[in-house]
């Protein structure tokens, strides 16, 4: 993976300003520039690494630019992974993290800098400040992972019935969100909440890799002109048409004005998994399974 | 010879000069769309009625012009004597045969790599006067293009783009001036409204929206905060020929979401200004949101409405209130909520909604409605002099505002707080609302599938046109809000529609996705 840090037009003219603010940073930039065509390694360090003042500035930049999805303390939210984990799927080295923040991650909800609808985007220096902040709050992974992966896998495609609607690594159903990467991009708390309270956060605003629009998994119930009732999940919708899938994975393409009735609900079609249905221990196992797959 | 004659009869001759008199009397040429809002009153109303509520169901697409640009298209086209002029991302401008969509010329500015647009590399349109069209650029120049060729006639530097100044607004031409307001409220610029000699490009006047030391209003800023006080002017104002006044709205004080360090009302941020068109001198001002901490720019297009002997100006403000002012004096007549608002539960002696103390952003975060995007935003509203209704796109969304102090640094983002959706379980809701300006009452509303950034056009055909985030262009009955027609354009709408006619045939046009569309009867 080549570094694109100093190839983007927005970086021009940033050097003098940055150099004035951080002695030695200009040299670091030159070094990075020389590295531009060389694969990034863990050695590409943040020029502001360990700078407490930069980390504080980075905390505020993080609030403005990142917290919408990753949460106020970078501990993740319904839409972005917990960044306090030392082990990161997409951005292990500082240089890779810089690249991810600058350019986003294609095929995921992670946008490129300045395109998340939250304003103007960040300068290179501000991105490095954010990386300094993230590094300052990282915690080591728990010594002993929670849950039994093998049992979780068994439950997922067996007694817990998850795979009836959810696909993982090519196996499972199509009605609910595909979950192969969910363990790497959602917090444990968010996953538990999605199982225990599926309606609280539908997959709101989530853009998935195979769709260019956010599918929200609302529950749609229609009665067609000939009296047939169909209940399922919205694939997409506008004011005049709806595309939906029912529990037998049949896709229906419907014009609203030709329907006898149309109703939409944010009560998820997914059953509420109370501890009676799925014990806390079993849920830990399922999440351990999803986390192990998501880390790949 | 016969062939040549036949050809010239079929052709539309487009070489008349667009004089100031034509702009003042635009109602006499309803086939043309001469200014951003269609006429000087700002009402975005077309007197054309060939397409109307009884035949709207037959409307079909006539042509599509692909701009080749990516990102949001916020342009409002102009149409003059059969030629359509519009803009696209990265300061593209183009002229099309308005009957066929075939380009006549195309211009694209060579922008520096480090421009600082706030919210997309957008442009909202051109102004025209004489034989020139006028474009404000993302690197803070004002340029004039030859309307027949697209060649640059003059190029004036307004401000330093590296400090965060830019233009996205469609200018307004008045007399022999191109009037324009600056963007950059996210960078701590000092806002201004400029007027350039349309012939030469010489700057004739500048009105700083943040007053200099010694000027009235300066005392509403703490310490040196005025120097980076924001108050940009990034949407097009209106002009009253009867009093020779320009009414131009202004945006948020900077930093946009943090009041600490700029104690005071912060004049003339979030205000409507009445300026003498010849000199730029201010006759009156009205501030909608004092000491704003929620990024509620008051840059929405104000619409002049005459009701009997009353000369009014109305604005559906981003802060969630619909304001009607006496435009002779700037005195407030009414302020009525037209969307979900929680920030103000009382009014001052003048009747102006006042912020509750607890509405200020906090470190832990505090929920306020409307959110940072506002009840409405840049999307152009419309007023129909027949239904007497004001049509505006609205959004119901609340946000958590959480402080995040940032030092001012030239050319860097300068907000001072972050905002998040307050409740992810509660989807945002978007509407087209028809407001009676006399009472503030909402006569009808139409709910979109999701909030849209589309503006609104009303026409004498009893129609209101708007677009949605799902890519539909929609015609509604202006009196009832009933949907009469729709067309899927394949891209979200961030622009506002216009109507025009060529060879006696009415068209309605709008930009969506990365293209401009024109519609008409079969």
Q: By the CB < 8 Å criterion, does A192 face chain B?
A: no
Q: By the CB < 8 Å criterion, does A13 face chain B?
A: yes
pLDDT at A231: 97
Distance CA A263, CA A265 (A): 7
Evaluate if residue B305 carries a pLDDT over 60: yes
Residues B71-76 have a mean pLDDT of 95
For residue B449, give how far its alpha carbon lies from the nearest alpha carbon of chain A (Å). Answer: 6
Q: Which residues of A touch B472 (CB under 8 A)?
A: 238-240
Q: By the CB < 8 Å criterion, does A210 face chain B?
A: no
Evaluate if residue A263 carries a pLDDT over 60: yes
Residue A37's pLDDT band, with cuts at 50, 70 and 90, is: very low
pLDDT at B89: 95
- List, as one string, the DSSP characters of B451-467: -----EEEETTTEEEEE
Q: What is the pLDDT of residues B55-71, one digit of tens each?
A: 999 999 999 999 999 88
Structural domain boundaries of chain A? 9-137, 149-205+271-294, 219-265
C-alpha distances in Å from residue A144, one per residue of A148, A283, B80: 11, 17, 73
C-alpha distances in Å from residue A216, one per residue of A94, A203, A205, B133, B424: 33, 5, 7, 44, 11
Distance CA A148, CA B519 (A): 61
Q: Which CATH class is domain A149-205+271-294?
A: mainly alpha
Evaluate if residue B271 carries a pLDDT over 80: yes
Nearest by CB to residue A10, choosing from B114, B405, B425, is B114
Which residues of B are catalytically annotated? 295
Mean pLDDT of chain A, nearest integer: 80
Distance CA B496, CA B512 (A): 9
Tell me if A266 and B448 make a contact (CB, 8 A cut-off). Answer: no
Of A88-97, B238-247, B415-424, which gets the smallest average pLDDT?
B415-424
Site of tokens 């991810």: A100
Beta-carbon contacts of B445 under 8 Å, excluding residues fewer than 6 positions away, are B431, B432, B433, B434, B481
Evaluate if residue B237 carries a pLDDT over 60: yes
Residue from A238, A264, A266 to probe the interface with B (highest B Cβ count within 10 Å): A238
pLDDT at A190: 84
Residue A70's pLDDT band, with cuts at 50, 70 and 90, is: confident
Beta-carbon contacts of A87 under 8 Å, excluding residues fewer than 6 positions away, are A141, A295
Residues A251-259 have a mean pLDDT of 97
| Exposed e or buried b per residue across A257-266, where buried means at least 16 C-beta atoms within 10 angstroms of its C-beta | eeeeeeeeeb
Q: Which two tokens stand for residue A35?
A: 């590295």
For residue B366, give how far its alpha carbon lies from the nearest alpha carbon of chain A (Å). Answer: 13
**Count of helix runs (H) and strand runs (E) in chain A:** 10, 7
Evaluate if residue A208 carries a pLDDT over 70: no
Virtual torsion, Cα B1, B2, B5, B7, nearest 10 deg: -110
For residue A207, give how far its alpha carbon lies from the nearest alpha carbon of chain B (Å). Answer: 15
Residue A258 carries which DSSP code?
A: G
Residues B251-270 have a mean pLDDT of 95
Nearest chain A Cα to B450, which residue?
A238
Evaluate if residue B355 carries a pLDDT over 50: yes
Evaluate if residue A28 carries a pLDDT over 70: no
pLDDT at A219: 95
Residue A214 carries which DSSP code?
A: B
Tell me if B474 and A9 make a contact (CB, 8 A cut-off). Answer: no
Residue B11's pLDDT band, with cuts at 50, 70 and 90, is: low
Residues B167-193 have a mean pLDDT of 97
Evaluate if residue B80 carries a pLDDT over 70: yes
3 state DSSP class of A256: helix
Residues A196-201 have a mean pLDDT of 86
Structural element, H or E, at residue B420 = strand B417-421
Distance CA B455, CA B444 (A): 17
Nearest by CB to residue B404, choosing from A64, A78, A117, is A64
C-alpha distances in Å from residue B512, one per residue of A54, B67, B137, B455, B466: 42, 10, 21, 12, 11
pLDDT at B366: 87
pLDDT at B374: 96
- Are β-strands A219-223 and A229-237 bridged in parallel, bridged antiparallel, or unpaired? antiparallel
Distance CA B217, CA B220 (A): 6
pLDDT at A21: 35
Evaluate if residue A91 carries a pLDDT over 80: no
Distance CA B289, CA B300 (A): 13
pLDDT at B9: 45
Distance CA A150, CA A154 (A): 6
Q: Which residues of A touch B418 (CB under 8 A)?
A: 63-64, 67-68, 118
Cβ pair B240, B273 in contact under 8 A: no
Q: Which residues of B touch A64 (CB under 8 A)?
A: 404, 406, 413, 415, 417-418
Residue B257's pLDDT band, with cuts at 50, 70 and 90, is: confident
pLDDT at A143: 59
Nearest chain A Cα to B118, which residue?
A120
Q: Which residues of B touch A200 (CB under 8 A)?
A: 425
For residue A60, give how far its alpha carbon lies from the nearest alpha carbon of chain B (Å). Answer: 5
Residue A249 carries which DSSP code?
A: -
Q: Which residues of B touch A120 (CB under 8 A)?
A: 116-119, 186-187, 413
The model's pTM:
0.89
- List, as one string, the DSSP characters of B330-392: --EEEEEE-S---S-SEE-TTS-EE--GGGS-BSS-EEESS-TT-SS-SS--EEETTTTEEEE
pLDDT at B425: 58
Residues comprising chain A, all counted: 296
C-alpha distances in Å from residue A110, one per residue of A99, A106, A168: 12, 7, 21
Residues A72-98 have a mean pLDDT of 82
Residue from A55, A57, A127, A240 to probe the interface with B (highest B Cβ count within 10 Å): A240
Domain A9-137 bears CATH identifier 2.60.40.10: no
- List, as one string, the DSSP characters of B204-231: EEEEESSPPTTSTTGGGS-TTGGGG-B-
The answer for A 132-161 residues in CB contact with B (under 8 A) is: none
Residue A12 carries which DSSP code?
A: T
Q: Into which CATH architecture does domain A219-265 fall?
A: Roll (2.30)
Evaluate if residue A201 carries a pLDDT over 90: no
Q: Which residues of A touch B413 (CB under 8 A)?
A: 64, 119-122, 126
Terminal Cα distance for chain B, rounded: 32
Mean pLDDT of chain B, nearest integer: 94
For residue B418, give how far its alpha carbon lies from the nearest alpha carbon of chain A (Å). Answer: 4
Q: Which two tokens stand for residue B484?
A: 């009469």
Evaluate if residue A65 carries a pLDDT over 50: yes
Residues B98-103 have a mean pLDDT of 98
pLDDT at B137: 98
Residue A135's pLDDT band, with cuts at 50, 70 and 90, is: very high
Residue A27's pLDDT band, with cuts at 50, 70 and 90, is: very low
Pick from A54, A15, A10: nearest CA to A32? A15
pLDDT > 70: what percent of chain A?
Answer: 78
- List, as one string, the DSSP characters of B271-294: EEEEEETTT--EEEEEESSTT-SS
Q: Which residues of B touch A17 (CB under 8 A)?
A: 411
Q: By the CB < 8 Å criterion, does A237 face chain B?
A: yes
pLDDT at B301: 98
Distance CA B31, CA B508 (A): 11
For residue A113, give how far its alpha carbon lies from the nearest alpha carbon of chain B (Å). Answer: 12
| Residue A66 or B197, more confident | B197
3 state DSSP class of B418: strand
Evaluate if residue A79 carries a pLDDT over 80: no
Q: Would you tell me the crossing angle of helices A52-65 and A124-137 to the nearest 10 degrees?
A: 100
Evaluate if residue A223 carries a pLDDT over 70: yes
- List, as one string, the DSSP characters of B293-307: SS-----SPPEEEEE
Structural element, H or E, at residue B417 = strand B417-421
Nearest chain B Cα to A266, which residue?
B425
Of A85-89, B81-85, B480-484, which gets the smallest average pLDDT?
A85-89
Q: By the CB < 8 Å criterion, does A24 face chain B?
A: no
Residues B198-210 have a mean pLDDT of 98
Residue A24's pLDDT band, with cuts at 50, 70 and 90, is: very low
Q: Exposed/middle/buried for A235, CB within 10 Å: 0-12, 13-18, 19+?
A: middle
pLDDT at A16: 32
pLDDT at A63: 87
Of A214-218, A272-276, B171-175, which gets the smallest average pLDDT?
A214-218
Cβ pair A131, A96 in contact under 8 A: no
- The ipTM assigned to this model is 0.86
Residue A75's pLDDT band, with cuts at 50, 70 and 90, is: confident
Tell me if B112 and A12 make a contact (CB, 8 A cut-off). Answer: yes
Evaluate if residue A38 carries a pLDDT over 90: no
Ordered by where they begin, the domains of chain B are 18-520 (2.140.10.10)
Site of tokens 């195309």: B106
Residues A27-34 have a mean pLDDT of 40
pLDDT at A18: 32
Evaluate if residue B403 carries a pLDDT over 90: no
Cβ pair B215, B268 in contact under 8 A: no
Cβ pair B150, B184 in contact under 8 A: no
Q: Which residues of A touch B89 (CB under 8 A)?
A: none
Residue B427's pLDDT band, with cuts at 50, 70 and 90, is: confident
pLDDT > 70: what percent of chain B?
Answer: 96
- Identical fold at A9-137 and A149-205+271-294? yes
Residue B13's pLDDT band, with cuts at 50, 70 and 90, is: low
| Residue B256 or B459, more confident | B459
Give me the half-sphere count of Cα atoms (radius 13 Å) on the Cβ side of residue A264: 16
């Amino acid at each position: 993976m080549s570094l694109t840090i100093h190839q983007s037009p927005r970086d021009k003219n940033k050097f003098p300003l940055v150099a004035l603010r951080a002695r030695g940073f200009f040299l670091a930039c030159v070094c990075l520039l020389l590295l531009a065509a060389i694969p990034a390694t863990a050695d590409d360090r943040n020029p502001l690494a360990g700078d407490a003042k930069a980390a504080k500035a980075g905390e505020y930049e993080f609030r403005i630019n990142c917290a919408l999805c990753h949460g106020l303390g970078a501990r993740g939210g319904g839409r972005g992974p917990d960044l306090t984990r030392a082990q990161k799927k997409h951005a292990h080295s500082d240089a890779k993290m810089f690249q991810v923040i600058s350019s986003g991650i294609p095929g995921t909800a992670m946008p490129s800098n300045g395109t998340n609808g939250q304003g103007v985007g960040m300068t290179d220096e501000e991105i490095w400040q954010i990386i300094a902040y993230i590094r300052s709050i990282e915690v080591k992974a728990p010594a002993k992972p929670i849950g039994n992966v093998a049992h979780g896998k068994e439950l997922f495609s067996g007694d817990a019935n998850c795979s009836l609607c959810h696909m993982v690594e090519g196996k499972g159903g199509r009605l609910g969100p595909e979950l192969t990467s969910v363990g790497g991009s959602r917090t444990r708390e968010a996953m538990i909440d999605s199982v225990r309270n599926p309606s609280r956060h539908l997959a709101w605003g989530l853009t998935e890799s195979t769709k260019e629009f956010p599918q929200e998994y609302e529950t749609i119930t229609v009665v067609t002109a000939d009296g047939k009732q169909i209940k399922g999940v919205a694939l997409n919708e506008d004011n005049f048409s709806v595309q939906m899938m029912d529990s037998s994975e049949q896709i229906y393409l419907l014009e609203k004005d030709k329907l006898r009735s149309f109703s939409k609900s944010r009560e998820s079609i997914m059953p509420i998994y109370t501890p009676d249905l799925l014990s806390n221990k079993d849920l830990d196992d399922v999440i351990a399974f999803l986390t192990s797959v998501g880390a790949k | 010879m016969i062939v040549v004659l036949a050809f010239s009869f079929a052709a539309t001759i487009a070489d008349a000069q667009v004089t100031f008199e034509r702009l003042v009397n635009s109602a006499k040429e309803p086939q043309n769309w001469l200014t951003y809002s269609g006429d000087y009153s700002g009402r975005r109303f077309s007197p054309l009625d060939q397409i109307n509520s009884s035949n709207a169901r037959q409307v079909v697409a006539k042509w599509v012009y692909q701009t080749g640009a990516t990102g949001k298209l916020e342009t409002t086209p102009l149409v003059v004597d059969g030629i359509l002029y519009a803009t696209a991302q990265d300061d593209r401008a183009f002229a099309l045969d308005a009957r066929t969509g075939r380009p006549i010329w195309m211009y694209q500015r060579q922008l520096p790599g480090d421009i600082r647009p706030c919210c997309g590399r957008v442009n909202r349109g051109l102004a025209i006067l004489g034989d020139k069209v006028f474009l404000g650029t993302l690197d803070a120049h004002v340029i004039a293009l030859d309307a027949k060729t697209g060649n640059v006639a003059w190029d004036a530097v307004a401000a330093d783009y590296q400090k965060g100044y830019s233009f996205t607004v469609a200018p307004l031409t008045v007399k022999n001036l191109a009037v324009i307001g600056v963007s950059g409220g996210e960078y701590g610029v000092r806002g201004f409204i400029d007027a350039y000699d349309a012939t030469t490009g010489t700057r004739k006047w500048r009105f700083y929206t943040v007053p200099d030391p010694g000027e009235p209003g300066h005392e509403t800023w703490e310490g040196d905060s005025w120097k980076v006080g924001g108050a940009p002017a990034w949407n097009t104002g209106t002009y009253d020929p009867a009093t020779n006044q320009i009414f131009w709205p202004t945006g948020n004080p900077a930093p946009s979401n943090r009041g600490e360090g700029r104690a005071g009302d912060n004049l003339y941020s979030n205000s409507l200004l009445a300026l003498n068109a010849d000199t730029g001198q201010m006759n009156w001002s009205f501030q909608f949101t004092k000491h704003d901490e929620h990024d509620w720019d008051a840059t929405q297009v104000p619409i002049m409405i005459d009701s009997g002997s009353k000369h009014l100006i109305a604005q559906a403000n981003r802060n969630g209130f619909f304001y009607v002012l006496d435009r002779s004096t700037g005195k407030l007549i009414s302020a009525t909520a037209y969307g979900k608002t929680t920030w103000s539960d009382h009014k001052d002696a003048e009747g102006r909604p006042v912020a509750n103390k607890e509405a200020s952003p906090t470190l832990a975060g505090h929920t306020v409605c409307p959110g940072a995007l506002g009840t409405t935003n840049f999307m152009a509203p419309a007023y129909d002099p027949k239904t007497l209704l004001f049509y505006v796109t609205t959004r119901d969304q609340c946000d958590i505002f959480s402080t995040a102090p940032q030092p001012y640094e030239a050319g860097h983002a300068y907000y001072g707080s972050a905002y998040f959706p307050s409740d992810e379980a509660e989807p945002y809701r978007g509407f087209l609302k028809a407001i009676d300006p006399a009472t503030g009452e909402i006569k009808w509303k139409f709910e979109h599938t999701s909030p849209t950034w589309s503006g609104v056009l009303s026409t004498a055909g009893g129609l209101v046109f708007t677009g949605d985030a799902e890519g539909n262009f929609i015609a509604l009955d202006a009196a009832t809000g009933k949907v009469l027609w729709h067309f899927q354009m394949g891209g979200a709408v961030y622009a506002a529609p216009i109507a025009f006619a060529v060879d006696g045939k009415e068209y309605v046009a709008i930009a969506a996705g990365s293209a401009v569309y024109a519609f008409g009867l079969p």
